[in-house]
Structures are given as structure tokens and as C-alpha cells.
Structure 1
Amino acid sequence: MLLNFFDGLLRYHFLQNALLTAVVIGIVAGMIGCFIILRSLSLMGDAISHAVLPGVALSFILGLHFFVGAVVFGLLASVIITFIKENSTLKGDTAIGITFSSFLALGVILIGLANSSTDLFHILFGNILAVQDSDKWMTLFISALVLLAVIIFFKELLISSFDPIFAQSIGLNVTFYHYLLMILLTLVAVTAMQSVGTILIVAMLITPAATAYLYANSLKVMLLLAGAVGALSSVLGLFLGYTFNIAAGSSIVLTAASIFLLSFLLSPKQNWIKK
């Protein structure tokens, strides 16, 4: 089975595209996921990943690249959620629930108007084996931008994630870095849509980062571990999907979940076996 997979990598360009794209998305999603779980914004990742659906549908209708509409609607969702949270007595999860469900419903209606059920299936569940060269290069470009932003603003994101009150007291614009993170999250969600679909994006954002959290004692180590787990999950998941002819996106997510389960049982912070 392993030899067949390597043989396919040497012979088929679509499999090469799929592997490179999946690994890059696994790395960048895992790293952004670290900031998401440290800020207790896991539901925000879920909301934005689903909020891009109407943007994708509208792009199909208007003949635009899906990336344009997805980014616009993802950012719009984050602005609406933050506005409701900061200007009412409602809690953040309530604002997320209202926005997430409304955008998802709008997306389903727009997809119906676009008469594109096949595209809807690929959007919801991903199709990593159908990644084209243009999509691969766009994924690499966006991922490089996201990683560059993390490197440049690492210290600010670190402080505002762990202690926003202290960050504000030393003059950091906490709101700016919140929206910067939302922009990065939206970009990652849009790129990951090709591999695992909008339904499973949140799993690639959260699961590798949660696995890394069980081992790491610093944010830098956590980021590196999350990226490594995301990349490993992508490789193993793609191998399983290609070898057994099953959905590669779902295989990637289940592989990441399996690694988390093993870590939950064996990691020093948990060590359920010893207990």
C-alpha cells in the first residue's frame, strides 16, 4: 500500500498537488489554531469557517474567484460577532450562534440559486485530490503571508492572547490584534476549504493545536508542535484516502483526532495510563 502511494506521487501530478497543499494547510491551520484556543475562540473558528459559504456561492453567481467572496464574508462575520459581543449584554457564544446560523442559511439559499449541488458538496466536505496548480500556488502564497504575519507580530499576539488587560496597559491596541487574528483565521479557513471543506475546517484549526497544548510549555514550542501534527495528519490522512478510496478530507481530520486521543492518554500533562 505504501509503495502504491509513493508510486502515485511519482506518476500523478494531481497527487503531488494534493500532498503539498494538504501539508501546507495542516501547518498553517495548526499554528493559527494555537492562538484561537489560547483566546478561547474555538467557536469563532467554527463560525468563520461556515460564514464563508455565502461568499463562495455569491462568487459563483457573479463569476468571481471563490476566494474573493469567502474572505469578504468571513471578515464580515467576525466584525458582526465582535460588534454584537461588545455592544450588548449578550455573551460571545450567543453572538457566534446567531451569526453562524444566519450566514450558513444564506449560503445554502445562494448555492441553490447558483444551481451547483456538486460545488456545494465540495465546498462542505472538500476535495483535496482536485486541487489545480492555480489553487496550489494561491494556497502557498496565502500561507506564506499568514506565517509572515505571525512571525512579525508574534510578541504582540503572545501578550494579547495571554493577558489582554496587561497588553492594554502597556499601550498595545488589543482590538487591532484581535481583528488581525480574525483576518488570518479567515484566510486559513478559505484555503483549508479545498482540503477538508467548511464542515471540517474547525477540526484542522483546533485538533493539532490542542494536541500540541498537551505537550508544550511555551507558545513557540506549541506553534511548532501544532504545525508538525497538522502536517503529519495531512500526510497520513491523504495516504489513507488515496489508498482506500475514501474521502481524503475526512481521513485527515480523523487522523488528527486519533493523534490527539493518543496524546490525551499518554502526554505528561494528562498521563491517563499512569493514573
Structure 2
Amino acid sequence: MIEALSYQFIQHAIIAGVLVSFVSGIIGSLVVVNRMVFLAGGIAHAAYGGIGLALFFGLPIFLGTSVFAVLAALIMVGVTLKQKERLDTFIGLIWAVGMAIGIIFVDLTPGYNVDLMSYLFGSILAVNESDLYFMGVLFVTILLILAFWYSKILAVSYDSEYAALCGINVKFFYTLILVLAALSVVIAIKVVGLILVIALLTIPVYIAQELSSSLARMMILSGFIASFFTLSGLWLSYTFNLTSGASIILVSALFFIFFLLFKGTR
């Protein structure tokens, strides 16, 4: 693996893996404490519609997928706030319709020759410079938002009723978290694919949550744990010629099982 570091695509993959890991660790922590895992899963699968539209209209994949994922997130916010008792039904509907739209537009795309497996299970070795810029901008944006609104996001995440009584706009921050989750899902698709993205958002967070006493520590620790999983999976995929996304999630799952066993023995 040492000699592989001289290749530019490996360098891009490592940078992308670390960026996506820390984004996933930070946003995954917010997703877990706000109990949005099912919502994030719906967005991840609905985002396939954006991939199909981007391919059909010749748009950048990240742009088309981001717009579609954010729209799906906003729809889910509206449903959550107004039709909470039917949330599962609407998420399933958005999930299925998004994927159906993506499949139809892929079928209609003339001369289509892109491997869909790279979007379903990730293709971290195919990351280019424009992808890295998008990931970097999102990472910096998330850090700025947290630096400016951390106390309010913390209040909304752990006690939304108390936050509302304190005058905090709970709907705004709920929407903000879900939109950031949608964008995080989009960049994570490049690394592990839309089918496996929820594992990257939740497994490192669960481990970090057990080892942390605050939300900030949980975010930071989740980022480092996710980075370890991602780089280990990348090494495994390069060494044994395996699918990168599946390798990353397999490493995550194995360490998760070891962690549970270690926790049980304690």
C-alpha cells in the first residue's frame, strides 16, 4: 500500500475518505441524537432520483443529487411537522418514488454507459478534484455552522421543548440539521454508496456515543473512528481488489461487533 500512495487517485481517495468520515461523524451524531436515522435512510435512497436526473440532463452528479436530496429533506421536514403520525408511510413513498425517478431517467439517458454499481456501493477510487472541492466546502460550512450555533443545536437536539421555551427556532434548526444530513449523504454516496451510507453515519457514532460525555466529543471521536474504518477499508479493497464501499462497511461492522463483545465483558 505504501507504493500506492504515489498514485494521484489513491491520494484523492484518502483525502475524500477523511473528509467524508468527519462529515459523517459530525452529522451522524446529530442524526442519531435527533432520531433521524430513518429519515436519513429515506433521503439516501431518494437521492438516486437526483443521480438519474443529473445523468439525463448532463449535469454534475453532485449538483443534481444534492438538489434532489435537499428537496426530499424539505418534504420530509414538512411531513414530520404536519403529519407525524403518517411519517413512515411518507418516507417509504419518497424513498420509492426517488429511486423510481432515478431508474426511469437512467433508462431514458441516450448513450448511457456509467456503472450504476459505483453509486449503489461507492467508488472512492474514482474521486476527482471537483469532488474534493465539494466535500471540503461542505466540511468547512458544517464547522462554521457549529461554531456559530452549537449551543442552540445542542438544545434542540436534546430537549426541543425547552429550546422552544427559550425562544430558539426549533423548526429552523430541525430543518438545517436534516438539510446538512442530506448533503452529507450525497458526498458519502461517493465513498460507500447509497445502500451502505446509513452504516457509515451510525456505526462510528454509536461507538463514540458510548465513549463520550458530550455531543462535541462524540462528533470529534466519531470522525476519527469513521476515518479509521474508511482508511482500513480502502487498504483492504486495494490489497484484495474488493469493492471499496463494501470493504469499509465490513470493517466497520466487525469492529462494531468487537466493541459490543468488549463492552459486554466489562
**Superposition TM-score tier, normalisation by shorter sequence:** over 0.9
Provide TM-score, normalisation by structure 2.
0.94
Query: How many residues in Structure 1 have an aligned counterpart in Structure 2?
Result: 265
- The code of the aligned residue for 2:92 comes to G
- The code of the aligned residue for 2:181 comes to L
Is 1:168 aligned to 2:160, yes or no? no
RMSD: 1.5
Is 1:256 aligned to 2:248, yes or no? no
Percent of pairs with identical residues: 32
- SS class of match (2:135): helix
Deviation of 1:89 after TM superposition, in Å, equals 5.9
**In structure 2, how many angstroms separate the alpha carbons of the residues matched to 1:60 and 1:129?**
20
**In structure 2, how many angstroms separate the alpha carbons of the residues matched to 1:150 and 1:51?**
27
Deviation of 1:184 after TM superposition, in Å, equals 0.9
Q: In the superposition, relative to structure 1, how do residues 66 and 89 fare at CA in structure 2: closer, same or farther (>3 Å)? A: closer
- Tell me the residue number matched to 1:108: 103
Deviation of 1:94 after TM superposition, in Å, equals 2.6
- Tell me the residue number matched to 1:131: 127
- Tell me the residue number matched to 1:31: 26
Question: Cα deviation per residue 1:62-114 (whole Å; 9 max; x = unaligned)?
Answer: 11111222122112112222222333363433321221122112212222222
Contact 1:14 1:132 in 2 (8 A): yes
**In structure 2, how many angstroms separate the alpha carbons of the residues matched to 1:86 and 1:108?**
30
**In structure 2, how many angstroms separate the alpha carbons of the residues matched to 1:117 and 1:272?**
49
- The code of the aligned residue for 1:77 comes to A
- SS class of match (1:199): coil
Deviation of 1:203 after TM superposition, in Å, equals 1.1
- SS class of match (2:216): helix
Is 1:45 aligned to 2:37, yes or no? no
Deviation of 1:151 after TM superposition, in Å, equals 2.5
- Tell me the residue number matched to 1:141: 137
Is the deviation greater in 66-75 or in 16-25? 66-75
- Tell me the residue number matched to 1:272: 264
- The code of the aligned residue for 1:138 comes to F
Deviation of 1:175 after TM superposition, in Å, equals 0.5
- The code of the aligned residue for 2:48 comes to L
Deviation of 1:117 after TM superposition, in Å, equals 5.8
**In structure 2, how many angstroms separate the alpha carbons of the residues matched to 1:234 and 1:152?**
29
Provide TM-score, normalisation by structure 1.
0.91
Contact 2:24 2:184 in 1 (8 A): yes
**Residue number among 87, 90, 109 corresponding to 1:92 in the alignment:** 87
Deviation of 1:61 after TM superposition, in Å, equals 1.2
